[in-house]
């Protein structure tokens, strides 16, 4: 455990279009609060002009520079897996990694998105009707969110993705892991939303770089809960429309903070103060 004021630790984030990420400030502030000299570096694929094929080289680079680990975000959460030596049970079950710990010459993949989303949802939407949720997005974040929804008690989950095969594959994997729930790839979004009790959004739509709505706003009804994973901006167009209709909502801030707290724990061996991190995040986005 890193517990001396002189301890220095280097971590970072690999992904595309991450220049506005709040992760550096969040991790570095929690590091200072725990007596660490922690630096958090953004490694943007777009800025470097490289694609997913560069992931092994980037991991070798941060290893050579003495990083304790890196977070992984869109679009690399699944593509990074072949470059790793080991997966945690959660990451293996999801087929997606958002945290890589570099230790003893090994690369160990974890997923803190799933428990991070679950904790944010639990806090913001207690008592939500989870009998039938529609989810948009079946990528790396979508896999984590879908698993979290089933762990929270969703009885029926209908998954839509622009890549129908990806939605079908995720649904099949989760149905095997949760045999008491009905998990299905979506075909007719209008019909699914007419039956559903809530909507979970897990695509990049709504981010500062990808503005807009992920579905026709006429499909959102006041009885729906609406859960968002995008946190920059915190008030996405989807949340604005849903709140105007009277829906109960949860923004992406909780997932952002609680997944960061889990990653901080993996990187440092120190238990972070999640409430302090929530307060710092609120001050940053306020």
**In degrees, to the nearest 5, what angle opens at C-alpha 143 toward C-alphas 63 and 153?**
130
Q: Is 245 an annotated catalytic residue?
A: no
Whole-number Å distance between alpha carbons of 254 and 229: 9
Can you tell me the distance from the alpha carbon of 27 to that of 33, in angstroms, rounded to the nearest whole number?
Answer: 10
**Structure-model confidence comparison of residues 210 and 100, the more confident one:** 100
Q: Considering the chain, what is the average pLDDT of its residues? A: 95
CB-side neighbour CA atoms (13 Å) of 15: 25
Name the active-site residue from 10, 27, 77, 266.
Answer: 77
Do 98 and 23 fall within a single domain? yes
Residue 280 located in a structural domain? yes
Residues 65 and 133 in one domain: no
Q: Which pLDDT tens digit goes with each residue over 225-283?
A: 999 999 988 999 999 999 999 999 999 999 999 999 999 999 999 999 999 999 999 99
Does residue 144 share a domain with residue 244? yes
% residues pLDDT > 90 (the chain): 92
Residue 2 inside a domain? The answer is no
Domain count, the chain: 2
For the domain that residue 180 is a member of, what is the CATH number?
3.40.50.720
**CATH code of 24's domain:** 3.40.50.10860
Are residue 168 and residue 212 in the same domain, yes or no? yes
**Global pTM?**
0.93
The closest alpha carbon to 255, from 152, 114, 86, belongs to 114
Same domain, 260 and 212: no
Parallel, antiparallel or unpaired: strands 37-44 and 86-87: unpaired
Do the domain assignments include residue 187?
A: yes
> Could you tell me which residues come within 8 angstroms of residue 159 by beta carbon, excluding any fewer than 6 positions away?
135, 138, 142, 146, 167, 170, 171, 183, 184, 185, 186
- For residues 285 and 204, give the distance between their C-alpha atoms in angstroms, rounded to a whole number: 19
Q: Are residues 118 and 247 in the same domain?
A: yes
Residues 176 and 218 in one domain: yes
Residue 37 pLDDT class (50, 70, 90 cuts): very high
Nearest one of 193, 203, 202 to 245, comparing CA atoms: 193
Say if residue 26 is in the same domain as residue 143: no
Q: Of 161, 271, 247, which is closest to residue 205 (Cα–Cα)?
A: 161
Do 120 and 214 have their domain in common? Answer: yes
191 & 93 share domain: no
What residue numbers bound the domain in which 45 lies?
Answer: 8-111+256-285
pLDDT digits (tens, 9 = 90+) for 114-144: 999 999 999 999 999 999 999 999 999 999 9
Q: What is the pLDDT of residue 2?
A: 46
């Amino acid at each position: 455990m890193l517990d001396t004021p002189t301890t220095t630790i280097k971590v970072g984030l690999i992904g595309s279009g991450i220049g506005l990420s709040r992760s550096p400030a969040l991790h570095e502030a929690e590091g200072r609060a725990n007596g660490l000299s922690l630096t958090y570096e953004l490694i943007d694929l777009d800025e470097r002009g490289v694609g997913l094929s560069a992931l092994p080289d980037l991991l070798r680079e941060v290893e050579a520079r003495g990083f304790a680990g890196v977070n992984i975000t869109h679009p690399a959460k699944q593509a990074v897996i072949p470059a790793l030596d080991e997966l945690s049970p959660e990451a293996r079950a999801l087929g997606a990694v958002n945290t890589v710990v570099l230790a003893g010459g090994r690369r160990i993949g974890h997923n803190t998105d799933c428990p991070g989303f679950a904790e944010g949802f639990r806090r913001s939407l207690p008592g939500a009707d989870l009998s039938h949720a529609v989810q948009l997005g079946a990528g790396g974040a979508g896999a984590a969110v879908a698993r979290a929804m089933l762990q929270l008690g969703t009885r029926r989950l209908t998954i839509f993705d622009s890549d129908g095969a990806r939605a079908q594959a995720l649904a099949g994997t989760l149905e095997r892991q949760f045999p008491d729930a009905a998990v299905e790839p979506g075909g007719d979004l209008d019909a699914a939303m007419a039956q559903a009790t809530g909507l979970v959004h897990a695509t990049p739509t709504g981010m500062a770089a990808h503005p807009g709505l992920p579905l026709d706003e006429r499909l959102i009804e006041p009885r729906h809960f609406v859960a968002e994973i995008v946190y920059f901006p915190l008030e996405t167009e989807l949340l604005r429309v849903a709140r105007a209709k009277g829906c109960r909502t949860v923004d992406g801030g909780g997932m952002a903070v609680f997944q960061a707290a889990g990653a901080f724990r993996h990187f440092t061996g120190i238990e972070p103060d999640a409430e302090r991190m929530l307060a710092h995040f609120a001050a940053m986005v306020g």
